[in-house]
Structure 1
Amino acid sequence: MSNLPPNVHVSSHPCLVGKLSQLRSSSTPARDVKALINDITLILGTEALATAVSVVPGPTDQTPLGFEYKTSTVEPETISLVPILRSGLGMVEAIQTLLPTPVPVHHLGLFREPSTLLPVEYYNNLPNHLSGSGSHGAQASRLAIILDPVIATGGTCAAAINALREWGAQRVLVLSVLGALPGVKAAASEWPEGVQIWLAGLDEELTDKGMLKPGMGDVGDRLFLTIGK
């Protein structure tokens, strides 16, 4: 899409497009919602990580037949996953499956205040994220991957990006199932040189309550069966 910032990428993978269509349906049960989000994240993550990480040679190892071979690993060496509570939890397993080695998972709790639609942070377990801790940024990952199924107004995504930048992350990769054009543009402009955003789909507008139109509903409620709480 020509009107998108250069650091925003929307997948056109046909299998992903088909799964997103299924996920939008109100008739899709919670078990299938969970599976579809996992599948979409797996496809999207494959595309995004192909550009975000690179292969580097490792030490020599042996195959079961005794032949030596040169191992390979990915860099950057330090990568972390940052799911946005609650719905980002549904994307974690797929990215853990893709990465060849285990990586830390640091949770961020953010919600939109209903009247202002502005983000409010209620939980942050980034190591040494508090200013003045004496080791500010010491354990920050070179690449932090934000996992959040929906970018609506962009406020939550921007707040997460800023939290990771202040923590000391060198680059941020945002993976999202669906975004609204205005919110995606807002999030992408928060740190253009340090952030890449990858989406499975893009909607043009929001409702007056800040929901994507046509969207796919509240993903957290659909995942955890809390619709109508």
Structure 2
Amino acid sequence: MASSLPSNVHVSKHPCLRAKLSQLRSKSTNARETKTLVHDIALLLGSEAMTQLEIDNVETDETPIGYEYTRESIDCSKITVVPILRSGLGMVEAIQILLPDPVSVHHLGLFREKMTLQPVEYYSNLPQSPEQVAKLAIIVDPVCATGATACAAVQSLRDWGVQKIIFLCVLGAVPGLTRAAAEWPEGTQIWAGGVDEALTDKGMIKPGLGDIGDRLYLTLGK
């Protein structure tokens, strides 16, 4: 299945991630457990995805017993994390933990219109000053189903001026991942914790995870 995906889509093979994803799929997993599992999966997935970041040798420092060493770090000043509201918020802390220094967080509010399944943007706090444009944007959204929301987010960030995008999702469907990967293939790398083949007629991944936003925030049955 993964072999049929575009070359800029990467699927985790981490056994711990796969086990946690199986736990997350269960309808018996409560909101607190869902939050923890989404965080843990994002931490594992983010650590795989960010092996591509470059190390900067910034300065020398001294160890507690008096030996000099070169401090290795990552320039976080031009990295931003972009959660897709609402469920993407559940992945933000994991990425903040992974990076060695604080990074900006800019939110995108997108929802799928129920009849057309097309994305509608209702919120964006991307700064308009050219000096504040990030070089790398890390988009976090637990589910990539039809791919429409992912494409809209990629396009927004590309229009903003980013040079590269890493898109992280806990679970993706083959049609959605393929669609998202084609939006800006030379600038976007997509990392998925797992992949399911198909969608329901309502655009939900099957067997999937259900509506992660509803599961995180106990708004089931709204």
TM range (shorter): over 0.9
User: Which position in structure 2 is the counterpart of 1:224?
Assistant: 217
1:179-212: per-residue Cα shift (whole Å, max 9, x none)? 1100110000000000000000001000010000
Aligned 8 A contact 1:40 1:177 in 2: yes
| Structure 1 pair 5–76 and aligned structure 2 pair: CA distance change class (3 A) | farther
Extract unaligned runs of 5+ from structure 2.
none
In the alignment, what sits opposite 1:20? 21
Q: Distance in 2 between matches of 1:156 and 1:222?
A: 19
- Quote how far apart the aligned CAs of 1:64 are: 2.7
* Cα deviation 1:77-129 (Å, max 9, x = unaligned): 5100000000000000001000000000000000000000000000000010x
Cα drift, residue 2 of structure 1: 1.7
175, 186, 211: which one pairs with 1:182? 175
Supply the AA of the counterpart residue of 2:50. Answer: L
Q: Deviations over 1:31-79 (max 9, x none)?
A: 110000001000000000002x011201112223333221111147510
Secondary structure in structure 2 of the residue aligned to 1:2: helix
How many aligned residue pairs are there?
Answer: 221
Q: CA RMSD in A?
A: 1.0
Tell me, yes or no, if structure 1 residue 49 matches structure 2 residue 50.
yes
From 140, 151, 154, the equivalent of 1:147 is 140
Q: Which residue of 2 aligns with 1:161?
A: 154
Residues 124-157 of structure 1: CA deviation (Å, up to 9, x unaligned): 00010xxxxxx4x432111100000000110000
1:180 aligned partner, one-letter code: A
For 1:56, give the aligned amino acid.
Answer: D
Distance 1:40 1:172 in 2: 19
Partner Cα distance (1:106, 1:65) in 2: 41
> Does the 8 A contact of 1:76 with 1:142 survive in 2?
no
Tell me, in whole angstroms, the C-alpha distance in 2 between the residues paired with 1:123 and 1:222: 22
- Contact 1:174/1:197 (<8 A) preserved: yes
Alpha-carbon contact 2:56-2:73 (below 8 Å) kept = yes
| 1:132 alignment counterpart | none
Normalising to structure 1: TM-score of the pair? 0.94
Give % identity: 62
| Distance in 1 (alpha carbons) for counterparts of 2:132 and 2:55 | 23
Instruction: Determine if contact 2:110/2:120 at 8 Å carries over to the other structure.
Output: yes
- Where structure 1 has 5 or more consecutive residues not aligned to the other structure, the ranges are 129-134
The code of the aligned residue for 2:17 comes to: L
Alpha-carbon distance between aligned partners in 2 of 1:77 and 1:228, rounded to the nearest angstrom: 41
| Partner secondary structure for residue 9 of structure 1 | strand
Q: Which residue of 1 aligns with 2:33?
A: 32
